[in-house]
Amino acid sequence: MRIGMGHDTHRLADGGPLRLGGIDVPGDRHLVGVSDADVLLHAITDALLGAAALGDIGDWFPDTDPQNRGRDSAEMLSAACDACRQAGYRIANLDCIVFAERPKLGPYKRLIAERIASILNVSPERVGVKAKTGEGLGEVGRGEAMMAQCVVLLEENNAAI
């Protein structure tokens, strides 16, 4: 078994919708970045790559490469997942946290987990999604940024689940 941890932070700007976990969440703010800036999918991508010792999202999708401008983060996650499978691993489970003051993400957690499961081709029961606020503290609490963390457990393909 292999454990990987991913983290990402993106700043917020005016104008929606918010792209998070592969879905569009209605609102008046969006994440800013070279790609579509999906902070959650980026954290998951890093967790997968780290668990399989395959580098990180910056190695695979550098922000200096024009091909990554506006890129769909689901494509990056799918590529990382494929690389893990080619390296002989499959996903046992992943647990994610999104840190955001607003919008309230409770109504979207299940939909986000289902979308992530679809991208990774695993059952939604293997995907945990939690949301936390910044309690008014720091960049997250002031609504200036959003952060995400993910821990993933990979197992060898021949292991029993």
Percent of the chain whose predicted confidence (pLDDT) is above 90:
93
pLDDT in tens, 49-66: 999 999 999 999 999 999
Which amino acid, 66?
A: P
Whole-number Å distance between alpha carbons of 137 and 99: 11
Residue 40, φ and ψ in degrees, nearest 5: -70, -45
- Give pLDDT, residue 159: 52
Token couple for 48: 């997968």
Residue 161 — pLDDT band, cuts 50, 70, 90? very low
Tell me whether the omega of the peptide bond preceding residue 103 falls within 30 degrees of 0, making it cis.
yes
Residue 160 above 50 pLDDT? no
Give pTM, 2 decimals.
Answer: 0.94
In the chain, what are the domains?
2-156 (3.30.1330.50)
Residue 143 has what pLDDT? 92
- Alpha-carbon distance of 144 to 78, in angstroms, equals 28
Residue 114, class by beta-carbon neighbours within 10 Å (0-12 exposed, 13-18 middle, 19+ buried)?
middle
Rg (CA), the chain: 15
| Sequence letter at residue 56 | D
Q: How many CA atoms lie within 13 A of 141 on its CB side?
A: 5
